[in-house]
Structure 1
């Protein structure tokens, strides 16, 4: 968002093309119920997620390839809106941290462009409290969803102009996230592939601006240490009891905390007690 109050264009946000591609982009999808998190993940990965009639309170992990990149998506529950106990919130935050270990390259805050952004502004504040201000300023991108629905309603043909001229709440949200945003356009064939390619290039631009590193903070470091400790314990237990069950990855070794998490998510927590 420039000083004139207008949103920066795609070319402004992507001033140079990255020649070095991150080998594995780890993205955490955040947003309220009905914000388009799952459908956005479908669009990014080019695959349809399993249909579920149950609203999950756990993080879900999806992996695939998109625009020539390996992409890991962690869809987080809305712990920043729900009235939950501290223990429930802590468990959900830990699950998010462990699945995106050693840290996400970007938090994608999914925001329906045709709805009020009041709760999303609350979510940004919660994100800052849990992961620190830098997680928002340098590693969060506002992903505007349902642009097709807005156009179909006849309210706007140009989504960027609509946001800049009529939606001060959305402008404020983008400003809080360091002027980083993307409008996810749904469509057939090349149009949808183009919007996904632009999104991933923006994420890589964010990574480059952050020194080429994924986001990390004490919460991520603590969770990674705990998962590694549990990993060693599980390997020892299964090696002594059922050696054939520990064959995970090459040479019987776990290659990432994400491979281990399904085995431990029910009995591990951030509470040392």
Structure 2
């Protein structure tokens, strides 16, 4: 999102600006978490509604921490003003927080959190949308003197939430809240989270929907421009039907021409045969006066004369009558 990266002496990438929002139920000791991030800093924050904004600068890093209002234990009947403030908390560090810390307190004398408490934490986080888990780290804030078995019980109770946020978690021991090691570990996990999400920050749902709408509109406009460009480079053939009609007409003309040629050929053969037969008949009748020999000669001569007459008739038809008929048709 345009955030500048710095490189620490350990070689891990760190961001010059760090924006974090803290969530947790009422009574969760979120102040210990804030102290662990803003060591030695004045914790007097700026009140904004029910949220509190803390700002600091450490080792060249500008840090903004927003404390969101808590909810009551395992109650899922949250007042509307609390829901609104939880949603508004992510708007106090624009363009959006790099990480969301869900604080789960680990008390010395208490057993692990109830299923109802974990369900309430899950429900309140998802007021920000399902996308919230991509940017969430679960922070177990332990009282001083809490033993390892108690911590493990709390981690097991939060198993469903940890699964949703990819297992990202961090344990804060109260006795070590001012430790440089504690702070470095937290910052390293936040930096790793930012690297995983390729620098993306959590965008509030209203902005996210607006971005999606603008993206869809831009995509639709791009598709429309591509279609227009395609039409400009490949315009529709407005003469297509005309060309098809002319092509059809040419095919029909060629077919009629072929049919005409066939008819002409058949007619020629018919005329030759007819005239030959007619000439043979006349020749045989004329030569019959001279006997059989005369009749035979008459037939041959008659066929010859008949063929000549037929050829003459076809010549006249082809060179005169047929041309006149074609010109009249044109």
In which range does the TM-score fall when normalised by the shorter chain?
0.5 to 0.7
Q: Cα RMSD over matched residues?
A: 3.3
Q: Which residue of 2 aligns with 1:174?
A: 162
Larger Rg: 2
Q: Distance in 2 between matches of 1:97 and 1:32?
A: 17
Could you state the TM-score of these two structures normalised by the residue count of structure 1?
A: 0.60
Structure 1 residues 171 and 148: CA distance shift in structure 2, 3 A: farther
Alignment of structure 1 residues 120-199 onto 2, 5 Å: 120-128=118-126, 130-136=127-133, 138-150=134-146, 156=147, 159=148, 162-164=150-152, 168-187=156-175, 192-199=179-186
Q: Distance in 1 between matches of 2:71 and 2:26?
A: 11
Report whether the alignment pairs 1:49 with 2:43: yes
User: Matched residue pairs, number?
Assistant: 193
Q: Distance in 2 between matches of 1:214 and 1:135?
A: 10
Could you state the TM-score of these two structures normalised by the residue count of structure 2?
A: 0.50
CA shift at 1:180, angstroms? 0.5
Q: Is the 8 A contact 2:44 2:54 kept in 1?
A: no
Structure 1 residues 195 and 223: CA distance shift in structure 2, 3 A: farther
Q: Deviations over 1:68-97 (max 9, x none)?
A: 5221000000258585543x2454135313
Q: Is the 8 A contact 1:131 1:219 kept in 2?
A: no
Report whether the alignment pairs 1:26 with 2:19: yes
Q: Deviations over 1:54-77 (max 9, x none)?
A: xx9600000112455221000000
Deviating above 6 A after TM superposition, structure 1's stretches of 4 or more consecutive aligned residues are: none
> Which deviates the most, 165-174 or 23-32?
165-174
Structure 1 residues 188 and 172: CA distance shift in structure 2, 3 A: closer
SS of corresponding position for 2:97: coil
Q: Distance in 1 between matches of 2:153 and 2:82?
A: 37
Report whether the alignment pairs 1:112 with 2:99: no
Structure 1 residues 203 and 141: CA distance shift in structure 2, 3 A: same
| Greater relative contact order structure (CA < 8 Å, 6+ sep) | 1
CA shift at 1:220, angstroms? 4.3
Gaps of 5+ in 2: 1-9, 212-330
Q: Which residue of 2 aligns with 1:100?
A: 93
Q: Which residue of 1 aligns with 2:68?
A: 76
SS of corresponding position for 2:32: helix
Gaps of 5+ in 1: 1-16, 151-155, 225-273
Alignment of structure 1 residues 221-260 onto 2, 5 Å: none
